[in-house]
Amino acid sequence: MASCTRVLSVQPALTAGSAIHSKPCARAALLQRPQCPRQQRRAAVAAALSEEQQGGRAQDVQQPAVAASSNGAEAEDDSRDFAVAMAKIAWETKAEDILLLHVAPVVYWTRYMLICSVFSRPQLNAVLGKMTKEAAEVHGRRLSVNPTGTAGGWELMDWGDVVVHVMTTEQREYYALEDFYGAAEEVSLPFDQSDEAAAVDSWSKKL
């Protein structure tokens, strides 16, 4: 293994004046003294490690932000798709006044809120059953709290990021739930509710 050797030279005695003036030159000579191969290799390795660590820290700072942004967008799309799917079930089950709101900018505990009206408890139960089945079998989602199943006219289904309120027309008019979320954005739905009046008549005859 190569080693660094020090060469000592004997300098002639200097006067006090010349010694004072020679100190800066001596320091400069020591600073400019060439390194031996082993020292050069160590310096090169240290520089490379320092550069790699700095690059790694920069990536650590940037990558989580990008990943969080990407995951957030994917979760938002998944929540919207699921909420729209539940709204479609309400429409197919002849619910009325189906309203889907993007409430994430307004509340912290959910992203989307779906409100729809029904005309009887049997219709309400039909909406609950179809939504619960679709959520579990197609979307792999389970309710955090099961509906009460009582004789009341208002049921809540909570999937965390999506909350569904199924209410009778009387309950909805009385509580005016959507008025509490006036600042939320209404989400357009991929079906036409203009023919619901005729559909409601046919549904009522089946009850």
Tens of pLDDT, residues 162-205: 999 999 999 999 999 999 998 999 999 998 887 655 454 543 44
How is the chain split into domains, by residue range?
81-206
Fold that domain 81-206 belongs to in CATH:
Beta Polymerase; domain 2 (3.30.460)
Model's pTM, two decimal places? Answer: 0.61
Q: Is the pLDDT of residue 131 over 50?
A: yes
Pairing of strands 154-158, 112-118: unpaired
Among 104, 147, 107, 144, which residue's Cα sits nearest to residue 128?
147
Q: How do residues 66-123 score in pLDDT, each as one tens digit?
A: 344 557 788 888 999 999 999 999 999 999 999 999 999 999 999 999 999 999 999 9
Which residues share a beta bridge with 166? Answer: 116, 155
Residue 59 pLDDT: 41
C-alpha–C-alpha distance, residues 97 and 80, integer Å:
19
User: The tokens of 103 are what?
Assistant: 């409430």
Please enumerate in sequence order all residues whose Cβ is within 8 A of that of 62, keeping only pairs 6 or more positions apart, or say none: none
Longest dimension (CA), the chain: 122
Q: Tell which wins on pLDDT, 189 or 40.
A: 189
Residue 36 pLDDT: 62
C-alpha–C-alpha distance, residues 6 and 157, integer Å:
83
